[in-house]
């Protein structure tokens, strides 16, 4: 019988809260979390990552190296603190570009440098093969939903973007629903806050019905799944509408809350169903109140570890599947030509 191995999953999302680390052991359909922790980004790192999309080619390649070393140093500190003996690291990286219709997706955080810094074999670059096969390269978490959280009817995650997965006609399907914290955090930053705690800024505003209608009429929402979103879409579609509305910051935020809550809520339409809710957005009471007004499902709030570290946990699972040469990306979710076993292994 094979001795269980610890996989450390890493995740850093578009909301730039920090680097999430989760150390996990897996069986076929269950898991045990040894430790989970977030290493918050300094102002310098947040600035470098948020501006990476406008960097030169040389600057971006250097940032790829620097961020890989930074991730490796965080992992070393995590391992020392929790006295872990890890077999593999599975790193999501930081998404800088994601335009799957052009065949492009870029996550920085050099896996080679993570492996070299930690001395632990590292799996990274999970999205590229799926995109090359014609898929969206996202979301990737639903395979974990399918095998590890199958007892829920829906799995909702609210981070920089909100996404949902579900089982339909014996297939797992999933898609990005709408932008979320990537927009709200940008407004909160204007007031010196990393995020809008409990929607306090949004509660100061009034929903603008004209702006709300324009947001809800964006063509993306009429598209059929599979579909995914990236920063490029937010900059092109969302921010111009908010900026042209002449609303105050608080009114713009309150309107966007309503838009986000509506788009998520109308996705969770099944009566007598349960939805697992995870991601930083779950801690925003205003957003959850609005979602509950539109959703028919029962919203289930799990433990803090699952709320904040489910994505890192599932990237550890993707690494677990990759080293076994098993499919870790579902064509039914991404629209690729076939299921693939994605990820580059830097073996030590």
Residue 1 in domain? no
| Residues 106, 84: Cα–Cα separation, whole Å | 30
Instruction: Write out pLDDT tens, residues 203-250.
Output: 999 999 999 999 999 999 999 988 989 889 999 999 999 999 999 999
Q: How many residues does the chain have?
A: 348
On whether residue 259 sits in a domain, the answer given is yes
Residue 250 counted as domain residue: yes
Read off the pLDDT of each residue in 84-101 and give the average, rounded to a whole number.
Answer: 96
pLDDT at position 270, please?
84
Looking at the structure, tell me whether residues 277 and 147 fall in a common domain: yes
Indicate whether 284 and 216 sit together in one domain.
yes
Looking at residue 281, the DSSP 8-state letter turns out to be G
Q: Which of 22-31, 66-75, 270-279 has the highest mean pLDDT?
A: 66-75
| Judgement on whether residues 151 and 80 belong to the same structural domain of the protein | no
Residue 87 exposure: Cα atoms within 13 Å on the Cβ side:
13
Nearest 10 degrees: CA dihedral of 305, 194, 66, 127? 60
Our CA angle for 95, 333, 291, nearest 5°, is 75
Q: Is pLDDT of 330 > 80?
A: yes
Q: How many domains does the chain fold into? A: 2
pLDDT at 3: 62
340 and 196 share one domain: no
Average pLDDT in the 307-314 region?
96
CATH number for the domain including 287?
A: 3.30.420.40
With a cut of 60, say whether residue 308 has pLDDT above it.
yes
Residue 180 within any structural domain of the chain: yes
- The pTM for the full model equals 0.89
d(CA 175, CA 48): 28
DSSP 252: H
Flag whether pLDDT at 80 surpasses 70.
Answer: yes
152-155 LR contacts (CB < 8 Å, sep 24+): 152/274, 152/275, 152/276, 152/300, 153/270, 153/273, 153/274, 153/275, 153/297, 154/267, 154/268, 154/270, 154/273, 154/274, 154/275, 154/276, 154/297, 155/275, 155/276, 155/278
Are residue 123 and residue 98 in the same domain, yes or no? yes
Judge residue 281's burial from the number of C-beta atoms within 10 Å of its C-beta, 0-12 exposed, 13-18 middle, 19 or more buried.
buried
Helix (H, G, I), strand (E, B) or coil at 285: helix
**What is the pLDDT at residue 16?**
84
Residue 191's pLDDT is 96
Give tens-digit pLDDT for 107-130.
999 999 999 999 999 999 999 999
Do 90 and 320 contact (CB within 8 A), yes or no? yes
Same-domain pairing of 149 and 80: no
pLDDT at position 29 is 76
The answer to whether 345 and 122 have CB atoms below 8 angstroms apart is yes
Domain limits for position 291: 142-304
254 has pLDDT over 50: yes
- Comparison of pLDDT for 80 and 230, the residue scoring more: 80
In this predicted structure, the answer to whether residue 285 has a pLDDT above a threshold of 80 is yes
Whether residue 70 lies inside any domain: the answer is: yes
Would the pLDDT of 159 be above 70?
Answer: yes
Within the chain, strands assigned E span 6-11, 18-26, 31-40, 86-91, 94-99, 104-108, 121-124, 154-158, 161-168, 171-179, 274-278, 298-300, 344-346
44 shares its domain with 184: no
Average pLDDT over residues 137-150: 93
Q: Looking at the structure, do residues 42 and 81 belong to the same domain, yes or no?
A: yes
Secondary structure class of 311 (helix, strand, coil): helix
Residues 127 and 245 grouped into a single domain: no
Q: Which of 178, 170, 200, 147 is nearest to 279 (CA)?
A: 178
**pLDDT tens digits, one per residue of 183-200:** 999 999 999 998 999 999
The maximal CA–CA distance of the chain, rounded, in angstroms, is 65
pLDDT for res 233: 96
* Residue 318 sits in the same domain as residue 291: no
Portion of the chain with pLDDT greater than 90, in percent: 92
Alpha-carbon gap, residue 122 to 119, rounded angstroms: 9
Q: For residues 283 and 332, state if they share a domain.
A: no
Residues 244 and 323 in one domain: no
Q: To the nearest 10°, report the CA torsion of 231, 232, 237, 242.
A: 50
Q: In the predicted model, what is the mean pLDDT of residues 23-27? A: 94
pLDDT of residue 1: 46
Residue 98 belongs to some domain of the structure:
yes
pLDDT at 140 over 80: yes
CA angle 25, 28, 32 (to 5 degrees): 25
255-268 confidence digits (pLDDT tens) = 999 999 999 999 99
- 255 — phi, psi (to 5°)? -70, -40
Specify the pLDDT at position 262: 98
Please determine, for residue 48, whether its predicted confidence score (pLDDT) is greater than 50: yes
- The SS3 assignment for 118 reads helix
Top mean-pLDDT range of 27-31, 87-91, 270-274:
87-91
The whole-number pLDDT of residue 2 equals: 56
Confidence of residue 17 (pLDDT cuts 50, 70, 90): confident
């Amino acid at each position: 019988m094979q001795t269980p191995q610890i996989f450390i999953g890493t995740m850093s999302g578009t909301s730039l809260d920090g680097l999430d680390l989760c150390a996990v052991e897996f069986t076929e359909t269950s898991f045990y979390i040894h430790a989970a922790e977030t290493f918050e980004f300094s102002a310098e790192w947040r600035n470098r990552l948020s501006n990476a999309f406008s960097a030169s080619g040389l600057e971006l390649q250097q940032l790829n190296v620097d961020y890989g070393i930074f991730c490796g140093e965080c992992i070393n500190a995590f391992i020392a603190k929790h006295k872990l003996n890890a077999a593999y690291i599975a790193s999501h990286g930081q998404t800088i570009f994601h335009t799957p219709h052009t065949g492009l997706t870029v996550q920085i955080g050099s896996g080679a440098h993570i492996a070299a810094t930690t001395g632990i074999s590292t799996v990274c670059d999970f999205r590229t093969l799926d995109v090359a096969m014609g898929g969206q390269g996202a979301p990737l978490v639903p395979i974990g939903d399918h095998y590890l959280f199958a007892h829920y009817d829906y799995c909702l995650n609210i981070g920089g973007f909100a996404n949902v997965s579900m089982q339909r006609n014996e297939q797992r399907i999933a898609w990005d629903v709408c932008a979320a914290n990537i927009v709200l955090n940008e407004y909160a930053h204007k007031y010196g806050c990393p995020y809008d705690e409990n929607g306090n800024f949004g509660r100061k505003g009034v929903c603008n019905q004209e702006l709300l209608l324009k947001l809800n009429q964006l063509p993306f929402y009429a598209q059929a799944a599979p579909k995914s979103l990236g920063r490029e879409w937010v900059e092109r579609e969302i921010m111009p509408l908010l900026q042209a509305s002449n609303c105050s910051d608080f009114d713009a935020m309150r309107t966007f809350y309503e838009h986000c809550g509506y788009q998520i809520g109308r996705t969770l339409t099944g009566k007598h169903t349960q939805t697992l809710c995870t991601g930083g957005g779950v801690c925003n009471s205003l957003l959850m109140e609005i979602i509950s007004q539109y959703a028919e499902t029962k919203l289930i709030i799990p433990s803090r570890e699952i709320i904040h570290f489910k994505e890192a946990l599932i990237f550890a699972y993707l690494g677990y599947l990759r080293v076994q040469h098993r499919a870790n990306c579902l064509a039914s979710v991404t629209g690729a030509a076939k299921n693939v076993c994605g990820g580059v292994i830097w073996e030590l």
